Amino acid sequence: MEIDYVTTPFGRRPMTLAMLLKQRRGEAIAAGTTRNKWKLFRSVCEARAGLDVTDRALTVLDALLTFYPEDELSNEKGLVVFPSNAQLSLRARGMAAATLRRHLAVLVEAGLISRKDSPNGKRYVRRGREGGIDEAYGFSLAPLLARAGEIETMAARIAADRQMLRGLKERLTICRRDIAKLISAAVEEAVPGDWACLSSMFQAILQRIPKAANLENLAPILEELEATRENIVNLLEMHEKMQMPSASESQIERHIQNSNPESISEFEPGLETGQGARPEMQADRSHRSKTTPDDKRLQAQANGGEGPRFAGRPRAEKPKSFPLTMVLQACPDISDYGPGGAIGSRRDLMTAAVVVHRMLGVSPSAYEQACSVMGPENTATVMACILQRGGCIHSPGGYLRDLTRRAERGEFALGPMLMAILRAKDPSVAKLS
CA separation for the pair 198, 185 (Å, rounded): 13
Q: 129, 152, 175: which is the final residue of a domain?
A: 152
For range 295-309, the mean pLDDT:
47
Whole-prediction pTM:
0.49
| Residues linked to residue 34 through DSSP beta bridges, in sequence order | 74
User: What band does 109 get if pLDDT is binned at 50, 70 and 90?
Assistant: confident
Q: 152, 181, 211: which is the final residue of a domain?
A: 152
DSSP symbol at 269: G
For residue 78, the model assigns a pLDDT of 81
Q: Backbone phi, then psi, for 116, in 5-degree steps?
A: -130, 90
The reply to whether 307 falls in a domain is no
The reply to whether 315 falls in a domain is no
Do 32 and 134 lie in one domain? The reply is: yes
For range 85-114, the mean pLDDT:
91
For range 123-149, the mean pLDDT:
82
Do 124 and 24 lie in one domain? The reply is: yes
User: Which residues span the domain enclosing 331?
Assistant: 324-424
- Identify which has the larger pLDDT, 191 or 9: 191
- Identify which has the larger pLDDT, 400 or 135: 400
| Number of domains observed in the structure of the chain | 3
Do 210 and 117 lie in one domain? The reply is: no
User: What band does 53 get if pLDDT is binned at 50, 70 and 90?
Assistant: very high
CA separation for the pair 170, 4 (Å, rounded): 53
Do 184 and 147 lie in one domain? The reply is: no
For range 338-365, the mean pLDDT:
86
Q: 100, 120, 152: which is the final residue of a domain?
A: 152
The reply to whether 1 falls in a domain is no
Contacts 24+ apart (CB under 8 A), 120-124: 120/10, 121/10, 121/11, 123/82, 123/83, 123/84, 124/82
At 14 the three-state DSSP class reads coil
For range 321-328, the mean pLDDT:
84
Encode pLDDT of 370-380 as tens digits: 988 888 888 99
- Identify which has the larger pLDDT, 49 or 269: 49
Encode pLDDT of 69-96 as tens digits: 999 998 887 889 999 889 999 999 999 9
For residue 131, the model assigns a pLDDT of 67
In the predicted structure, residue 225 carries a pLDDT above the cut 90:
yes
